Structure 1
C-alpha cells in the first residue's frame, strides 16, 4: 500500500481490478484505518486484509529495511508469497527494500545469481523487454546470460512469441565495442543455439524495436529508462504548449484530437507500469512510486498475467535446461 500517493491510489485500483476479475482474490496489506476508510460499505468478496503496524519509508536503505522493518506491510506481503497464501506481491514502495526483502524471503532459483528488474517499453513494432533496470549495477557475463534467458522466457510467454530475439545493449554494433563483460556475454549467448541472440543493440535501437529483449546491466538500463521517461515528458509538454499557444493553435489542436488520442494510447506510460523482479521464486511486481490509479491497475494486471502463465516455473525450467547444456560442453 506504499508509493508516493499511498492507499488513496492502490485501494481504488484494486477495487477496479477485483470488479473486472471476480475470480481473483486480493489481500490488502497495511495500516487498518488507511485501508478500511477507503473501501465501500460492501466491498467485493474477493478482498481481504492483512494489517501491518509498520511501513518502509521511501528513504529507508535496503539493508536497514531488511533488518528493522519485519513488521512492515512490505515484509508481510512478501511473506504471504513465501508461505503460499498469495501468488504474487505488487508494491509501489521502496524499490531497493522490495528487492532486498524479496531476495531474502523468496530466494532466487538455482542457477540465478541475482534477480533482475524487467519491464516492457514501447517501440515502433509494439514493445520490447528491457532488463536489468537497476537491481544490479555491475554484472558479470554469466549474469547477463541469465538475464537474457529470463527476459526471453517472459517475452515468449506473455507475447506468445517462440524464440524472441535478444540483443545486448552496447555503444556500437561492432564486435570490438563495449567492456569485457559485454563481449564475454556475447560469446556466451552465441554458444547457446536455444537463445535467439542477434548481437549488439545501440540505444536508438531500443525504441525501433530491433529486438524483443534488450539485456544490460542495471546502471545502463536505469539510465536508459529514466532518460526515455524524461524525453517522453518533454515531448508531451511541448505538444501541449504548441496546441495551446493561441486561438489558431487551439483550433488546430481540436482538429488533431483523434490523432493525439491514438498517439497517447500507444505510448501512454500507464500501460507499461509494472516491472517484474525476474529470478525470484515467486512473482513480485514493482509499480512506479508515482503511479496513479490507472497505472497501478496495469501493475496488478501484470501480476495476474504472470500468475496465469506460471512465469517463475517457466524461468526455472529454462535455466535448468541452460545448465544442462553447459554441462554438455
Structure 2
C-alpha cells in the first residue's frame, strides 16, 4: 500500500509530516510505503543522512500557501505538493493522498484530477465528533457552503457509509441540523432537504436536530451545508480549548485545588484524549474518485500519524467502493 503525504502542507510542515510518518511506520511497516511529496532538499535535511525504509520522496518545487486562491492552484502551481500528490493517486502510483495544506486547493485539485464518483453531484467533508455515548458524524463541514437539497441527501448517504466504517454500525440514524424540530422550520433549503431525505431514507431519518441537541440526540449522522457544519466544528474546537484553559486556571488559583487535580489527573487525561482532534487525524473528502484525507492545518506529528492511519483504513475497507454502490442506488433522485 502506498500513501502520498503532502510534506509541505500545514502550519508545522515539514517537521510534523516527517515526524508523523516516522511514528506511523513504527507500527505499520509491512507492505507500507509513504511517499513524502515536497522539496527533496528540505525533506532530506529534516529526515537526516539516509531515508528510512518505507519512505520515498517525490520531489516538487512549489507550495500552495494559505493566502492563495485554492481553485487556481492546479493551473498556477502544477508542481506543488498538493497537485503532484493528488496526481500520484490519479496515475495509480499512490492509493491515497493526505494533506494538512490548503483545503480549497485540495478540493479543487481532487475534483479536476480525480473527478467525482459516478452519479455524485458534490463531494463533502465528514468530521467525526466524539460524545459521551459514542461518536457522531457531521457532514458537510466546509466543502459546500451553498448546497442544494439533493446534495444534502447525498451527504447523508455518504456519511452513513463512512459511519459504518468508523463505528461498525450499518443504517445509522440521520438527523438534519436545523433551528427547530418541526419539519417546516428553517430556510427553504432545509425544508426541502427534510422532505427529500425523509422520502429516500425513511427508515433511517429521524428529522430535524436543534443546536442544543447536537451531541445528545439519537442521530448518528448530522447533515447540514458546509457553512453551518464548518461553523459548528470550529466552535466546538474553540469551546473545548476554552473549557480546558479555564479549568486549568481555576485549579492553579488555589493550592487545595491543585492537590485534588493531581489525584484526578488520569480523568483529565482521558477527557482530553476523548475530545482531542489529534486522535482522529484527518477527515475524508467523500465523493471524489480516490481516497483523499484532509487534516487540520495545525496538525502535530500525532495528528499526521492518525491521518495516515485513517487513509489506510479507508483503503483496506473499500470505503470508495461502498459509497459508489450506495450513490448508484439513489441516482434516479439526483439526476
User: TM-score range, shorter-chain basis?
Assistant: over 0.9
Q: CA deviation at 1:246?
A: 2.8
SS of the equivalent of 1:162 reads coil
Residue of structure 2 aligned with 1:47, choices 55, 66, 73: 55
What CA distance in whole angstroms lies between the structure 2 residues aligned with 1:64 and 1:315? Answer: 28
1:93-108 correspondence runs (5 A): 93-108=101-116
SS of the equivalent of 1:37 reads helix
Verify the 8 A CA contact 1:128 1:209 in the aligned structure 2: no
Q: Does 1:191 align with 2:175?
A: no
Give me the TM-score of the superposition, normalised by structure 1. 0.95
Could you say which residue in structure 1 is the equivalent of 2:17?
10
Per mean C-alpha deviation after superposition, the further-off stretch among 215-224 and 271-280 is 271-280
Verify the 8 A CA contact 2:127 2:283 in the aligned structure 1: yes
Q: Once the two structures are superposed, what CA deviation does each residue of 1:134-168 show, in whole Å capped at 9, x if it has no partner?
A: 11111110000010010011111222111111111
Could you say which residue in structure 1 is the equivalent of 2:285?
277
Verify the 8 A CA contact 1:123 1:209 in the aligned structure 2: no
Per mean C-alpha deviation after superposition, the further-off stretch among 193-202 and 148-157 is 193-202
1:236-315 correspondence runs (5 A): 236-315=244-323
CA RMSD in angstroms comes to 1.6
Give me the TM-score of the superposition, normalised by structure 2. 0.93
Q: CA deviation at 1:324?
A: 5.4
Q: How many residue pairs are counted as aligned between the two chains?
A: 327
1:84-123 correspondence runs (5 A): 84-123=92-131
1:148-167 correspondence runs (5 A): 148-167=156-175
Q: Does 1:221 align with 2:229?
A: yes
Gaps of 5+ in 2: 1-6
Q: CA deviation at 1:326?
A: 7.8
Q: Does 1:234 align with 2:225?
A: no
Q: Relative to 1, partners in 2 of residues 1:67 and 1:237: Cα closer, same or farther, differing over 3 Å? A: same
Q: Once the two structures are superposed, what CA deviation does each residue of 1:209-263 show, in whole Å capped at 9, x if it has no partner?
A: 5311111001100111111111111101011111111322221211221221221
Q: Which runs of 4+ in 1 moved over 3 A?
A: 40-44, 324-327
Residue of structure 2 aligned with 1:134, choices 120, 142, 151: 142
